[in-house]
Amino acid sequence: MPFQSILPPELLEQPAELPPRECIPWAGGFLEGVRNDKGQLVIQRLLSTDPADYLDPRLSPGSLWEPSQGRGTS
């Protein structure tokens, strides 16, 4: 079966180079993200059973998380 694409075949054959993801536990569940140059976790995804956690701006995607941060109430 032929594969049709607007991209050149060389580009489709190369595996995507993604930074290693890290999943760390915290008091409310898990945070998934990648480390920046300073060693901070840049949050990409939140895994929690508490709906209020998803409203916390400190846990939004793109936020920086340091191990010293704990779960607090806003």
The neighbouring-strand residues paired with 45 are 32
Report the alpha-carbon angle 31-19-24, nearest 5: 20
Report the alpha-carbon angle 63-59-66, nearest 5: 60
Quick one: tokens of 27? 């008091």
Per-residue pLDDT, 41: 92
Which spans in the chain are helix H? 9-13
pLDDT tens column, 18-57: 889 999 998 889 999 999 998 899 999 999 999 999 999 9
Backbone angles phi, psi at 31, to 5 degrees: -115, 135
